[in-house]
């Protein structure tokens, strides 16, 4: 887990894990007041760098199909859709897109 702070206040975080060469971004969030200033991308890049250093060769994550902002962020970082999980999210119920990013040469 990495956090972003401004003036001592928490304004964002990213949570990930690596198991046997496969990495996963479990959560990424920036406080509403801090959005669209590049913090999300910086947190994501920092998280990917840590997962890469720990040996991840590819990264997976799930995102709500309706989450246009996050999907744009992940697409810009090189993530591509590789699957869908029907009804993965609750409150409200929604499908998840599964995204994948190859690391190490970005193949």
Ligand X SMILES: CC(C)(COP(=O)(O)OP(=O)(O)OC[C@H]1O[C@@H](n2cnc3c(N)ncnc32)[C@H](O)[C@@H]1OP(=O)(O)O)[C@@H](O)C(=O)NCCC(=O)NCCS
Q: Tell me if 3 sits within 8 A of 47, measured CB to CB.
A: no
Instruction: Give the DSSP per-residue string, 23-64.
Output: EEEEEEEE-GGGTTSSHHHHHHHHHHHHHHHTT-SEEEEEEE
What is the nearest approach in angstroms of ligand X to the Cβ of residue 80? 15
Q: Is residue 35 within the footprint of ligand X (CB under 6 A)? A: yes
- Whether 89 is catalytic is no
Q: Which residue has the tokens 């975080």?
A: 13
DSSP code of 52? H
Q: Which of 62, 65, 89, 94 is the catalytic position?
A: 62
From 16, 30, 79, 97, residue interacting with ligand X (rule: CB under 6 A): 30
Q: Is residue 99 within the footprint of ligand X (CB under 6 A)? A: no
- Whether 5 is catalytic is no
Active site (catalytic) residues: 62, 74
| Residues at the contact surface with ligand X, assessed by CB under 6 A | 28-30, 35-41, 63, 67-70, 72-73, 76
């Amino acid at each position: 887990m990495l956090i972003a702070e401004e003036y001592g206040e928490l304004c964002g975080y990213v949570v990930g894990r690596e198991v046997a060469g496969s990495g996963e971004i479990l959560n990424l969030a920036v406080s509403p007041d801090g959005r669209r200033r590049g913090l999300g991308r910086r947190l994501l890049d920092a998280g990917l760098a840590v997962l890469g250093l720990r040996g991840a060769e590819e990264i997976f994550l799930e995102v709500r199909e309706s989450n246009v902002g996050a999907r744009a962020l992940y697409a810009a970082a090189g993530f591509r859709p590789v699957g869908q999980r029907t009804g993965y999210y609750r409150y409200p119920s929604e499908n998840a897109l599964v995204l994948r990013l190859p690391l190490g040469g970005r193949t």
